[in-house]
Structure 1
Amino acid sequence: MIDVTGKWALITGASRGVGYQTTLFMAKQGCNLILHSRNLDHTQTVLEEVLALGVEAYCVQAELSNVEEVSAMLDDIEARGTQVDILFNNAAVQIAYRREYWKTPVEDFDGSFRINFISPVMICNRLIPQMIERGFGRVINTTSGIKNEPEQAGYAASKAALDKFTKDLASRLEGTNVVISLNDPGWCRTDLGGQQAPNDVASVIPGIAVGAFVDDKKSGRYFPAQSFAGMSLKDAVAKAEAMEAVAYMI
């Protein structure tokens, strides 16, 4: 199991929901953190919490629908000299539930793809080559198990694109110590998931973070976080490393 003490992780959408849970968990493991949100004010409270846990941390901001802001955020991290070891592409948007799905506006797809697909790809493409050069990296892209719901076509399609990107990229990471994984938090009671969701957001731990700790150099796996709920980190890692990558999620 990887020891993340002193390593640096970038977590997008760190101010609330799954990102917030991931932030606290990683800080408790001794991991230093770069906390992303749309506005620096949104992460001020969580920054104070993680600093109190004895790790180093700072905040960055970017509206993920704006590629210029994403690029500027990455420039900021680079200018600070931070070597990002672990990446959690967590932030996402679920724009609308369209009962008249034949009338889904193009804007649903445009907004979903910008935030849920294009920005994670930009971040991966900037950070992963540096990870390969240094000989270590863990990337966890957050996907969704939503299927057979054309009412959420924009969101679902953007996550499917991220799945495809992740699986294809995994084939190029063989033989490196950079591991890329997909993670599905499940339907949780968050601002995105709504209060009718069956799972408490805390149930994503340790499953949402397990991809940061696997140590077998196998990329392209899909980790459904709810199947790890309530497990110790050690047991979760053992379970994750026993899982195989498959071409398509079922």
Structure 2
Amino acid sequence: MSVTKPIPSLRFPAPHLPQHGTAWRGAIGGMLGIAIAGGIGVILWGATTATLPWLVAPAGASAVLIFAVPASPLAQPWPLIGGNVLSACVGLLCGHLIGMPLMAGSLAVGLAIAAMSVARCMHPPGGACALLYALAASGPDKWNALHLVTIFANAVALGGVAWLFNNASGHSWPHRAPTPPSRSAHSALAHQALAATLAEWDEMIDADIADLDAIFQAVERRIRSIEQSAPPASQI
């Protein structure tokens, strides 16, 4: 007897909203990061220069990641800088070699994803960087290697602000997973089972295995605490 898998629902997922303090912290951090990154660009090459932009749009997407979800593996310093700059390089190459915006842009995004995967710097705004630089290089503006200065400066400035702001607000960045109070043979076995489960799923989960392991152990400790504090069944 065959079992038919249910078709996934197209309804909106249940909201998972951050606490108000976390939301405001991310909003303030993003605002400061973009303001400072843009300000540095203006200082370096002026707000009205026709040679280089002082800020590029993918920086806004990077700001969302590094300030709103700083614990994400996609929001760490190497993905922030490496993912953006590497993808921009791919975009420039595709734009100049192919010359047709649609083909250059689509190929650049695909190659950028592959390059970020190999370099272990997966960063979603990198796709936007690849597309932007491919379109600009194959368009009338003919962006060149000099334009890489902008995305590099934007990424480094955002990283500097994220390091200061996130750590000052109690969120380690670069992110470090919480250290469990103690590790037993059971917890080591749980870690191995967790790694095997993720490998079996063959899905990219936007969380580090160390964080998942720490969450699992914390939940187990909380359950044991509740069970130990519950009254015996004979007293209920």
Asked if Structure 1 and Structure 2 have the same fold, meaning a TM-score greater than 0.5 normalized by the shorter chain, the answer is no
User: Structure with the greater relative contact order (CA < 8 A, sep ≥ 6): 1 or 2?
Assistant: 2
Pick the structure with greater CA Rg. 2
Place the TM-score, normalised by the shorter chain, in its bin. Answer: under 0.3
Greater percentage in helix? 2
